[in-house]
C-alpha cells in the first residue's frame, strides 16, 4: 500500500529518536544474522551496500559493525568482507517440565551457572502469594547468572519455602542445579504451573550482570514451579538477554 520504494530495498531507520543510527543499524544487523539472512555467504553485505540500504553514510554503518565486532558477533577482514563469527539467539523452551540446562543442551557447548548470593529472607507480598505462603514466611533466596559458551544468557532470582527446603542454598552451591538440589532434598519431580512474561529495557544491574549495552532489552519471566501435588516449590524471576534468546512455549 501507499508508496512503493524503488530499487534497493530501503530498510528504514528513524532519526532524532534518542537512539543513534549506528545502534539501530547494529540491532537490525544482529537480528538479520540471527534470522539466518546471510547464511548463504556467511558474511554481512558490504558496507557500501548496507549504507545505501539504510540510507546512511558508510561511516555510520562502520560504527554499527564496529559495535558488533566488539560483541564478537562479526569480524571484518580487509579486502574480503565482514565475516559472521557467531549466530545468535539460543532457544529456551518453556513447558510444564522446564529445566534450564536440559533445554539448552544441544545449542551451546558449555553451560555455566554462577551463584551470586544466597540468603534467607521473609517473603514479601508477591513472593508469598506465588508460593502460597503467609506473608513473612521464611524463604531461601538464590541469585544466579547462567551463561552459554561464556556469554551471559540470564540472571535469576529464585525463592524457595525455607521450611520445606532448608538446605536449598547449600545443595545448589554443591550441585549447581535447582533440579539436583530438589532431588537431594527428596523432591524428584516438579512442574511449571505459571509463567508471566514482560519485555522492557534493562536496568543498570541487569546491564552489568548480563554484559549488555544500554538500551538493551530483557525478557523477564516470572515463573512458579509446583510439586506433583500442586504445592508451589519455587518462585523465580528470570531476566533473559533478549537479543541472545528466544522463548519457545510448549503446551
The residue ranges that bind DNA (CB under 7 A) are 15-18, 20-23, 44, 46-49, 55-57, 59-60, 62-63, 65, 76-82
Which one of DNA, a copy of itself, none interacts with residue 128, CB within 5 to 8 A by kind? Answer: none
Instruction: Find the helix or strand (DSSP H, E) in which 220 lies.
Output: strand 217-227
Least gap, CB of 234 to DNA (angstroms): 39
- Torsion, CA 186, CA 188, CA 192, CA 193, rounded to 10: -60
Is the CB of residue 44 less than 8 Å from the CB of residue 29? yes
Which one of a copy of itself, DNA, none interacts with residue 78, CB within 5 to 8 A by kind? Answer: DNA
Which one of a copy of itself, DNA, none interacts with residue 62, CB within 5 to 8 A by kind? Answer: DNA
Among 58, 77, 196, 231, binds a copy of itself (CB under 8 A): 196
- The Cα–Cα gap between 75 and 2 comes to 39
Instruction: Find the helix or strand (DSSP H, E) in which 24 lies.
Output: helix 21-35
Q: How many residues bind a copy of itself (CB under 8 A)?
A: 54
- Torsion, CA 10, CA 15, CA 19, CA 22, rounded to 10: 50
Closer CB to DNA, 45 or 103, in the complex: 45
Least gap, CB of 1 to a copy of itself (angstroms): 6
Least gap, CB of 9 to a copy of itself (angstroms): 11
For residues 92-120, b (16+ Cβ closer than 10 Å) or e, as one string? bebeeebebbebbeeebeebebeeeebee
Specify the stretch interacting with a copy of itself by CB under 8 A; choose among 14-22, 37-45, 78-86, 172-180: 14-22
State how far the alpha carbon of 178 is from the alpha carbons of 62, 79, 81, 155, 250, in Å. Answer: 44, 49, 44, 14, 21
- Parallel/antiparallel/unpaired status of strands 245-249 and 90-94: parallel
Among 96, 122, 174, 231, binds a copy of itself (CB under 8 A): 96
- The Cα–Cα gap between 56 and 59 comes to 8
Closer CB to DNA, 50 or 168, in the complex: 50
Among 149, 189, 213, 231, binds a copy of itself (CB under 8 A): 213
Write each residue from 106 to 145 as x if it is in contact with a copy of itself (CB under 8 A), else as -, in one continuous string: ----------xx----------------------------
Least gap, CB of 242 to DNA (angstroms): 21
Q: To 5 degrees, how large is the angle CA 22–CA 25–CA 28?
A: 155
**Binding residues vs a copy of itself (CB under 8 A):** 1, 11-14, 17-20, 22-24, 26-28, 31, 63, 67, 89, 91, 94-96, 116-117, 191-201, 203-204, 207, 213-215, 217-219, 242-243, 245-251
Amino acid at each position: 500500500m501507499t508508496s512503493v520504494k524503488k530499487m534497493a530495498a530501503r530498510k528504514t531507520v528513524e532519526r532524532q529518536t534518542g537512539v543513534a543510527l549506528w545502534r539501530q543499524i547494529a540491532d537490525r544487523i544482529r537480528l538479520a544474522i540471527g534470522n539466518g539472512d546471510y547464511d548463504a555467504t556467511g558474511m554481512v553485505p558490504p558496507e557500501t551496500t548496507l549504507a545505501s540500504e539504510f540510507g546512511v553514510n558508510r561511516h555510520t554503518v562502520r560504527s554499527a559493525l564496529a559495535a558488533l565486532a566488539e560483541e564478537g558477533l562479526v569480524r571484518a577482514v580487509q579486502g574480503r568482507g565482514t565475516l559472521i563469527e557467531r549466530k545468535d539467539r539460543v532457544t529456551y523452551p518453556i513447558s510444564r517440565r522446564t529445566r534450564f540446562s536440559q533445554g539448552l543442551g544441544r545449542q551451546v557447548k558449555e553451560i555455566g551457572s554462577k551463584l551470586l548470593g544466597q540468603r534467607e529472607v521473609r517473603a514479601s507480598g508477591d513472593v508469598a502469594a506465588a508460593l502460597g505462603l503467609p506473608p513473612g514466611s521464611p524463604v531461601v533466596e538464590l541469585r544466579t547468572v547462567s551463561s552459554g559458551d561464556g556469554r551471559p544468557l540470564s540472571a535469576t532470582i529464585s525463592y524457595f519455602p525455607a521450611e520445606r527446603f532448608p538446605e536449598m542454598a547449600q545443595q545448589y552451591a554443591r550441585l549447581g542445579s535447582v533440579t539436583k538440589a530438589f532431588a537431594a532434598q527428596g523432591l524428584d519431580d516438579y512442574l511449571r504451573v505459571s509463567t508471566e512474561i514482560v519485555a522492557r529495557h534493562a536496568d543498570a544491574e541487569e546491564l552489568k550482570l548480563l554484559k549488555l549495552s544500554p538500551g538493551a532489552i530483557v525478557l523477564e519471566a516470572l515463573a512458579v514451579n509446583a510439586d506433583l501435588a500442586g504445592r508451589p516449590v519455587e518462585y523465580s524471576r528470570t531476566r533473559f538477554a533478549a537479543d541472545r534468546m528466544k522463548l519457545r512455549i510448549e503446551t
